[in-house]
């Protein structure tokens, strides 16, 4: 049986970012991943490193997301230097477009609440009227009433990111174990054995980062990860010259030139089929936002499943019964990749989560039932 300093289960963006951080900081970890049959949010997402809508009513989530947005400015060049992979990260600020006065008013109230809840930490935003938004996004449709803007938002190529994290992990001495579905666990405090078929591996630290697979794995370690699938559909156009200098919540241009148009939020279980009516609604809103989009061909479209906690906030925990077992779950694995590599991984390496992470524990769901 092979032993490692730590084992991360799940080779998607969450697991790969944590495993990369552990290896970079000197541990000898293993990263175990199920294989190509898996549901993988990490290969079907929209690529935003997005801050402005994160954490309303939950300022700790806003702070965590902002920390990640800042850490992205370190992680992207570090990955480029270590792996030669440019993950295409840009942080030019981002816009959320409002297509009616009602949407604009609701957005304004939301952004103001975020600012108030941020307190001394601060939250910089502006509500832009149509002309101000059009100055940032030439070709904006007349249907756009206005937009919210923050300087913290950005985007990246999340497939390059996944590749770079894996490559950086292996180059720092990490061991990648693909095509293994963990199906049993021998569990004792700081002493874990994991089995996949005849293979067994051991480590004093385990991180469950198996996306939707965490829901089944977590109870084996006396943890809870009540995540559910939420389907999102995305369209991509043919490549064009540089038309959009800034990302918006639902339309962004990749560094290669394709325009990505997203993305729906559908509770349909483990169903990854595409729905023409949903794709049509997504495209219609995008063309109202940017009428010139109607002249571009859609060349690809897909559906993928988000890893969605009940309240939409990440879940991070360490097992009380089996110290050394951690879990990480979120629906913003691109955005939070830098926090996972640069803040969460060091906590795992140090052997405990920082006190401020307690607000992310799944214990927040254990509220007494109303009589």
Ligand X SMILES: Cc1cc2nc3c(=O)[nH]c(=O)nc-3n(C[C@H](O)[C@H](O)[C@H](O)COP(=O)(O)OP(=O)(O)OC[C@H]3O[C@@H](n4cnc5c(N)ncnc54)[C@H](O)[C@@H]3O)c2cc1C
Near ligand X by CB under 6 A: residue from 41, 51, 75, 293: 41
In DSSP notation, 159-216 reads HHHHHHHHHHHHHTT-EEE-S----EEEEETTEEEEEETTEEEEES-EEE--GGGHHH
* Binding flag, residue 182, ligand X (CB under 6 A): yes
Distance CA 175, CA 177 (A): 6
Verify binding: residue 38, ligand X, rule CB under 6 A: yes
Query: In the complex, what is the shortest distance from the CB of residue 48 to ligand X, in angstroms, rounded to a whole number?
Result: 3
d(CA 174, CA 27): 8
Q: How many residues bind ligand X (CB under 6 A)?
A: 42
> How near is the Cβ of 42 to ligand X at its closest, in Å?
3
Of 368, 364, 370, give the one whose Cα is nearest residue 60: 364
Site string for ligand X, 195-224 (x = CB under 6 A): --------------xxxxx---x-------
The reply on whether position 13 binds ligand X by CB under 6 A is: yes
Interface residue with ligand X among 8, 11, 23, 236 (CB under 6 A) is: 11
**Contact between 307 and ligand X per CB under 6 A:** yes
Q: In the set 99, 134, 170, 181, which binds ligand X (CB under 6 A)?
A: 181
Tokens of 202: 């051991």
Length of the chain: 371
Using the rule CB under 6 A, which residue among 21, 154, 168, 232 binds ligand X? 232
Question: Which phi and psi (to 5°) does residue 242 adopt?
Answer: -65, 110
As measured in angstroms, the least distance from the Cβ of 225 to ligand X is 10
Our finding on whether 32 is near ligand X (CB under 6 A) is yes
- Among the listed ranges 45-53, 101-109, 235-243, 283-291, the one in contact with ligand X (CB under 6 A) is 45-53
HSE, side-chain direction, 13 A CA sphere, residue 177: 22
Site mask, ligand X, residues 46-75, x = CB under 6 A? xxx-x-------------------------
Closest of 33, 349, 336 to residue 170, by C-alpha = 33
**335 contributes a contact to ligand X by CB under 6 A:** yes
Apex 163 CA angle, 299 and 245, nearest 5? 55
C-alpha 181/C-alpha 195 separation (Å) is 8
Please, what is the minimum distance in Å from the beta carbon of residue 188 to ligand X? 20
**Contact residue for ligand X among 7, 18, 45, 55 (CB under 6 A):** 45
Residue 248 binds ligand X, judged by CB under 6 A: no
* Two structure tokens written together for 370: 């109303």
Minimum distance, C-beta of residue 101 to ligand X, in the bound complex (Å): 27
Indicate which single residue of 332, 345, 349, 357 sits in contact with ligand X (rule: CB under 6 A): 332
Long-range contacts of 357-360 (CB under 8 A, 24+ apart): 357/316, 359/58, 359/60, 360/60, 360/61, 360/64, 360/313, 360/314, 360/315, 360/316, 360/317
Is position 78 an interface residue for ligand X (rule: CB under 6 A)?
no
- Whichever of 37 and 370 has its CB closer to ligand X, that residue is 37
Minimum CB separation of residue 95 from ligand X in Å reads 14
Q: Is residue 94 within the footprint of ligand X (CB under 6 A)?
A: no
Distance of alpha carbon 216 from its chain centroid, rounded? 20
Q: Write out the binding residues for ligand X, residues 345-364 only, by CB under 6 A.
A: none
Q: Which residue, chain included where needed, has tokens 């006065």?
A: 101
Interaction of residue 9 with ligand X, rule CB under 6 A: yes
Checking phi first, is residue 83 left (phi over 0); if not, alpha (psi -120 to 50) or beta?
alpha
CB of 252 to ligand X, least distance (A): 9
DSSP state, residue 75: H
Nearer to ligand X, 59 or 312 (CB): 312
For ligand X, the closer CB: 20 or 145: 20
Q: What is the DSSP string of 302-370?
A: EEEEEEE-TTSS-EEEE-SSSTTEEEEE-S-TTTTHHHIIIIIHHHHHHTS--GGGGGGSGGGG-PPPP
Which residues are bridge partners to 126 per DSSP? 149
Which residues in this chain contact ligand X in the complex, by CB under 6 A? 9-15, 32-34, 38-42, 44-48, 50, 181-182, 209-213, 217, 232, 234, 263, 304-307, 330-335
């Amino acid at each position: 049986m092979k032993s490692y300093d730590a084992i991360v289960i799940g080779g998607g963006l969450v697991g790969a970012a944590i495993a990369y951080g552990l290896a970079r900081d000197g541990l000898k970890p293993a990263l175990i991943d199920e294989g190509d049959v898996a549901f993988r949010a990490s290969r079907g997402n929209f690529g935003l490193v997005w801050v402005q809508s994160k954490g309303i009513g939950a300022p700790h989530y806003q702070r965590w997301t902002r920390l990640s947005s800042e850490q992205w400015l370190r992680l992207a060049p570090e990955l480029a230097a270590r792996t030669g992979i440019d993950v295409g990260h840009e942080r030019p600020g981002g816009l959320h477009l409002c297509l009616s006065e009602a949407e604009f008013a609701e957005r304004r109230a939301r952004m103001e609440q975020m600012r108030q809840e941020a307190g001394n930490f601060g939250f910089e935003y502006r509500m832009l009227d149509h002309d101000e938004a059009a100055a940032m996004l030439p070709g904006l449709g007349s249907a756009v009433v206005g937009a919210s803007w923050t300087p913290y938002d950005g985007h990246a190529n999340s497939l390059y990111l996944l590749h770079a994290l894996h490559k950086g992990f292996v180059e720092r001495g990490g061991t990648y174990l693909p095509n293994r579905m963990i199906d049993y666990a021998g569990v004792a405090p700081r002493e874990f054995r994991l089995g996949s078929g005849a293979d067994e591996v051991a480590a004093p630290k385990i991180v469950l980062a198996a996306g939707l697979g965490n829901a089944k794995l977590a109870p084996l370690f006396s943890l809870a990860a009540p995540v559910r699938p939420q389907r999102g559909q995305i369209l991509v156009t043919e490549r064009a010259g540089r038309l959009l200098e800034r990302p918006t919540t639902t339309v962004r241009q990749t560094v290669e030139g394709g325009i990505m148009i997203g993305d729906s939020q559908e509770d349909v279980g483990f169903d990854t089929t595409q729905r023409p009516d949903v794709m049509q609604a997504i495209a219609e809103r995008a063309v109202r936002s940017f009428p010139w989009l109607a002249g571009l061909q859609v060349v690809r479209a897909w559906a993928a499943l988000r890893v969605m906690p009940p309240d939409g906030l990440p879940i991070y925990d360490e097992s009380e019964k089996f110290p050394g077992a951690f879990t990480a779950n979120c629906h913003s694995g691109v955005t939070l990749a830098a926090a996972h590599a640069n803040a969460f991984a060091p906590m795992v390496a140090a052997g405990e989560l920082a006190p401020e992470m307690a607000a992310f524990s799944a214990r927040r769901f254990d509220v007494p039932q109303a009589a």
